[in-house]
Amino acid sequence: MVDYTKLLPLLPEAPAGWTADKAEGSTTDAGGFKLTNVHRDYRKGEGDNAPTTSISILDSAANPDYVEATTAAWNFSTSSTEGYSKSVTLDGNQGFETFENEGKHGTLWLMVAKRYFVQIETKDQDSAALQEWAKRVDLKKLAEIK
């Protein structure tokens, strides 16, 4: 289980035209259920319809059953007028992507090194933005953190 301070530097700086909140993190031990989580929010411009992104990294090393159950559910895909869900692979990392056309709301999960969940959530951006944001996270560096 890594301390959250090791994961904070992996949350990228805001790209041009965006602002980023301060990165936040915590390591919790709740009755043997250990969890490390870091998170950062990004936005572009002001107003209710301003595009936003949030990036979270979760260390689930202490919970291999959780990892297995979650990634097993990623092996299907659906598509409809409302949006889609599909399994993806990014830089060799297994993942799952969903997109709702309403509100242009997307979520991408990636499993890195069989322990780190990277979650990217976008609003008011097109679906391609999900993987663009994912590429801003140094996944290779993340995989090496122990």
- CATH number at 38 reads 3.40.1000.70
Query: φ, ψ for residue 21 (rounded to 5)?
Result: -70, 170
- Domain holding 22, by residue range, is 4-144
Helix (H) or strand (E) holding 19: strand 19-20
Which tens digit of pLDDT belongs to each residue from 75-90?
889 999 999 999 999 9
| Better-scored residue on pLDDT, 124 or 72 | 124
Q: Say if residue 122's pLDDT is above 80.
A: yes
Q: Give me the number of domains the chain comprises.
A: 1
Q: At 139, is the secondary structure helix, strand, or coil?
A: helix
Characterize 53-80 residue by residue with b for buried, 16 or more Cβ atoms within 10 angstroms of its Cβ, and e for exposed: bbbbbbbbbebeeebeeebeebeeeeee
